[in-house]
């Protein structure tokens, strides 16, 4: 047997993509509540509006109504044999604006009930504190993580959660895919540090500044968790994609290394407690001097207990001459990898890349790891008899689980669990669509806002049930 019997098999979602009920239970407006729906077919991107504007389409306001239906959904997860369920706590249910002195009891109670429901079936909740969200007030009035005050607000939120749920939740993560912002675009700054860009802002500077504040906040949270209860395990959460050189040409090899440096220095800080030299050199060149002596001390005292990461795809990087000497990464450098097929959203399918990533982390940090997201977004078709044959999803997951098994069997990486994304259809983060589906459980609702949110099982439901029942040994249909 590759995995021991307490391996955390399960699934992962996030509050803002599933819960809906955006104004219930005293919840404040979150950044994700002002993000419109995009569309893969028309190519329309998600937009951020200045507050909630009437007539705009905000899918996260309703999600898939998990707030009201979680009991039914968790019962279905239990039927598949889940040992773990990863979700996030909506910051705005606990601190609606972010700057309040005391938390909102109704919000706290909601998560107490949710975690109790999980434990009823022996399912371990795994919790992300900030999954692409923060209170809109904190972003709009304070400038989000460009402002140091956001550190204290996050730590206050984290401490309230650790204290309240310490006997119900053991595994925590601070910021979801904290490194997504490496690609400096407005959308990513909003998702991560919730930095709202003004006309003449220097996006790159603000990215590094706000990421630094998030890393300090994360380290303070790790330290606080251990003081509150030494049993708590706090990890980081990295959006991981292998970056391969597009060819054996040394400039392409160096370009891929440069991209890895720039996309993954965040995990160095989380896991080693200090910045890697290539980033310090960059800050020196650019004259960024926001790291204080006190910050350095905090980072060294708040190293994460484990590495959580998501894995969906890999990239191939081609040197195009724009980044001579620095080999800094430009998303335009990423070219199609002709050895791989891609999803309808252009995400390249690469199971072996998952094994590569597990090794990359293990070689550097020798920390336990958790694959907290891995899944296949696709258009699903409901047949006339109501069945849904999502064989492509089974194929994707089986190949990735096999690669992860090999990483344990042959490479000896230490793995705590696997929570696939997402056991039930939810709103897509990047495009805001309902039609990009990941679930074993189908949700009857689509991009045109048609449907009644009823749930039904896809073909993959029974397949995953068997995978868990055999502890990952039997991946066949």
In whole angstroms, give the CA distance from residue 233 to residue 140.
32
- Of the pair 233, 431, the CB lying nearest ligand P53 is at 431
Helix axis angle, 105-120 relative to 149-165, nearest 10°? Answer: 50
- Residues recorded for the chain: 477
In terms of CB distance, is 215 or 420 closer to ligand P53?
420
CB of 111 to ligand P53, least distance (A): 18
* 288 neighbors 208 (Cβ within 8 angstroms): yes
104 or 460: whose CB is closer to ligand P53? 460
Handedness of CA 118, 229, 89, 390 (dihedral sign): negative
Shortest distance in whole angstroms from residue 427 CB to ligand P53 = 8
- Cβ 340 to ligand P53, closest distance in Å? 16
Nearer to ligand P53, 14 or 161 (CB): 14
We find the least distance from the C-beta atom of residue 316 to ligand P53, in angstroms, to be 16
Check 19, 214, 373, 433 and give the catalytic one. Answer: 373
Residue (193 or 239) nearer to ligand P53, CB: 239
CB 369 within 8 A of CB 351: no
Using the minimum distance from each CB to ligand P53, give the nearer residue, 295 or 435.
435
- 373 part of the active site: yes
Rounded least distance, CB 469 to ligand P53, Å: 26
Q: Strands 369-373, 124-130: parallel, antiparallel or unpaired by DSSP? A: unpaired
Secondary structure in 3-state letters for the chain: CCCCCCCEEEEECCHHHHCCCCCCCCCCCEHHHHECCCCCCCCCCCCECCCCCCCCCCHHHCCCCHHHHHHHHHHHHHHCCCCEEEEECCHHHHCCCCCCCCCCHHHHHHHHHHHHHHHHCCCEEEEEEECCCCEHHHHHHHCHHHCCHHHHHHHHHHHHHHHHHCCCCCEEEEECCHHHHHCCCHHHHHHCCCCCCCCCCCHHHHHHHHHHHHHHHHHHHHHHHHHHCCCCEEEEEEEEEEEEECCCCHHHHHHHHHHHHHHHHHHHHHHHCCCCHHHHHHHHHHCCCCCCHHHHHHHHHCCCCEEEEEEEEEEEECCCCCCCCCCCCCHHHEECCCCCCECCCCCECCHHHHHHHHHHHHHHHCCCEEEEECCCCECCCCCCCCCCCCHHHHHHHHHHHHHHHHHHHCCCCCEEEEEEECCECCCCCCCCCCCCECCCEEECCCCCCCCCCCEEECHHHHHHHHHHHCCCCCCCC
Residue nearer to ligand P53 on the CB measure, 73 or 295: 73
Site residues (vs ligand P53, CB under 6 A): 14, 17, 176-177, 180, 239, 310, 312, 373, 377, 421, 428-431, 436
CB of 311 to ligand P53, least distance (A): 9
Q: Which residue among 177, 192, 214, 268 is the active-site one?
A: 177
Q: How far is the CB of 437 from ligand P53 (least distance, A)?
A: 9
Active site residue 177: yes
Q: Which is nearer to ligand P53, 63 or 103 (CB)?
A: 63
CB of 146 to ligand P53, least distance (A): 21
Query: In the structure encoding, which two tokens stand for residue 293, read together?
Result: 């002596």
What is the spatial distance between Cα 315 and Cα 183, in angstroms, rounded to a whole number?
14
* Residue among 156 and 437 whose Cβ is closer to ligand P53: 437
Q: Nearest distance from residue 434's CB to ligand P53, in Å? A: 11
- Which residues are the active-site residues? 177, 373
């Amino acid at each position: 047997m590759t995995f021991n019997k307490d391996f955390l098999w399960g699934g992962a979602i996030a509050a803002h993509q599933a819960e809906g009920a955006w104004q219930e239970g005293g919840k404040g407006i979150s950044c994700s509540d002002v993000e419109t729906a995009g569309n893969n077919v028309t190519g329309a991107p998600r937009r951020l509006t200045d507050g909630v504007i009437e007539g705009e389409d905000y899918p996260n306001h309703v999600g898939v109504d998990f707030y009201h239906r979680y009991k039914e959904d968790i019962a279905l997860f239990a039927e598949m044999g889940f040992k773990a369920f990863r979700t996030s706590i909506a910051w705005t249910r606990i601190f609606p604006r972010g700057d309040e002195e005391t938390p909102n009891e109704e919000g706290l109670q909601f998560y107490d009930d949710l975690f109790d429901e999980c434990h009823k079936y022996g399912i371990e909740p795994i919790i992300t504190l900030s999954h692409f969200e923060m209170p809109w007030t904190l972003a709009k009035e304070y400038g989000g993580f460009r402002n140091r005050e956001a550190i204290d607000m996050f730590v206050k939120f984290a401490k309230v959660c650790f204290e309240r749920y310490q006997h119900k939740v053991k595994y925590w993560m601070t910021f979801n895919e904290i490194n997504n912002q490496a690609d400096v675009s407005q959308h990513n700054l909003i998702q991560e540090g919730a930095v709202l860009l003004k006309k003449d802002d220097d996006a790159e500077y603000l990215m590094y500044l706000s990421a630094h504040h998030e890393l300090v906040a994360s380290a303070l949270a790790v330290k606080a968790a251990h003081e509150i209860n030494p049993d708590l395990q706090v990890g980081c959460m990295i959006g991981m994609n292998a970056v391969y050189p597009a060819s054996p040409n040394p400039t392409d090899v160096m370009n891929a290394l440069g991209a890895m440096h720039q996309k993954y220095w965040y995990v160095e800080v989380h896991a080693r407690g200090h910045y890697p030299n290539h980033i310090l050199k960059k800050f020196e060149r650019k004259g960024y001097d926001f790291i204080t002596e006190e910050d350095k001390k905090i980072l060294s005292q708040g190293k994460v207990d484990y590495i959580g990461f998501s894995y969906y795809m890999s990239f191939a990087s081609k040197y195009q001459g724009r980044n001579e000497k620095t080999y800094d990464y430009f998303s335009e450098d990423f070219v199609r990898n002709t050895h791989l097929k891609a999803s309808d959203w252009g995400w390249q399918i690469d199971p072996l890349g998952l094994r590569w990533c597990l090794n990359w982390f293990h070689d550097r940090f020798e920390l336990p790891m958790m694959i907290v997201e891995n899944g296949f977004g696709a258009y699903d078709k409901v047949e006339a008899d109501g069945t849904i044959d999502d064989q492509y999803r089974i194929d994707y997951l089986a190949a990735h689980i096999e690669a992860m098994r090999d990483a344990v069997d042959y490479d000896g990486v230490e793995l705590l669990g696997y929570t696939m994304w997402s056991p039930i259809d939810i709103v897509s983060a990047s495009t805001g669509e309902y039609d990009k589906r990941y679930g074993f459980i189908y949700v009857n609702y689509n991009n045109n806002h048609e449907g009644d949110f009823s749930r039904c099982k896809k073909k993959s439901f029974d397949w995953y049930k068997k995978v868990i029942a055999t502890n990952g040994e039997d991946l066949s249909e």
